[in-house]
Amino acid sequence: MEVKEAIELAKKNNQAAFNFLLDRFWNDVYGFQLKRTQNENDAEDITIQTFSRAFDKINTYDDKYVFKTWLITISKNIHIDLVRKYKSSINSKINNKQDDTIYTIPDESPTPEDKIIRKQNLAKLLREIKKLKPHYQEVINLRYFQELSYKDISLHLDEPMNNVKVKLLRAKKLLAQILLKSNA
C-alpha cells in the first residue's frame, strides 16, 4: 500500500489504512518529539495525541502537502499547546518593595466536593468502559488503571506494540463516543 492510497482509504474510515499510516510514520513523529521533549513518556503521549488528532481530521488533509510534514506540524502544535498550558499553570509575581521574589502557586488540591464528584465520575466512567468490547476494556485497564507501559502491555497481550497503540487509540475514540452519547 502506498501513502496516498492509504490516506484515501483512511478518509473512508478503513482501519487497515489507519494502521498502515500509524506504522509508517510513528517513528518519525516520535523521534521528532523525543528531540523536543527529551522525555520518552512525553514524546509517546504527544505522538499518540498527534495521530489521534490527525486521524480525526484526516478529511481536512490537503494532498499538495507532504503527509509527514502535516503530521509533524500537528505534533509541534500539540507540544506548543502543552508547554503554554504548563507555563500558565504556574503564576509568579515579583514584589519589588521587599526585593524578594514571591511565587503565588494556586492551590489545586481537590476540595471535598471535588472528591465526591471525582468518585461519581469515575463510577460513571467505569460503567461506560464496560460497554466496550472486552479487548478494548483490557487495554484501557492495563494502560490507565494498572499504568503499564506500552511495552509491558505488548508483552502481557503477546501483541506487537503498534497493535497495542492502535487498539488503545481506537478504544479511547470509542469510549469518547459513548461518553458523548451518554451526556447528550
Strand partners, 102: 93
Give pTM, 2 decimals: 0.53
**Spatial CB neighbours of 90, under 8 Å, sequence gap ≥ 6:** 103, 105
- H helix intervals, the chain: 3-11, 15-37, 40-56, 67-89, 112-129, 134-140, 150-157, 161-183
DSSP secondary structure, 101-120, as one string? EEEE----PPPHHHHHHHHH
For residue 64, the tally of other CB atoms under 10 A from its CB is 5
Compute the distance between CA of residue 184 and CA of residue 167 in angstroms, rounded to an integer.
26
Compute the distance between CA of residue 129 and CA of residue 175 in angstroms, rounded to an integer.
7
What is the rounded average pLDDT for all residues in the chain? 85
Domains of the chain, first to last:
3-88 (1.10.1740.10), 109-183 (1.10.10.10)
pLDDT at 177: 86
Q: Is the distance from CB of 46 to CB of 78 less than 8 angstroms?
A: yes
pLDDT of 32 over the 50 cut: yes
For residue 75, the tally of other CB atoms under 10 A from its CB is 25
Q: What is the pLDDT of residues 168-177, one digit of tens each?
A: 888 888 888 8
pLDDT of 131 over the 50 cut: yes
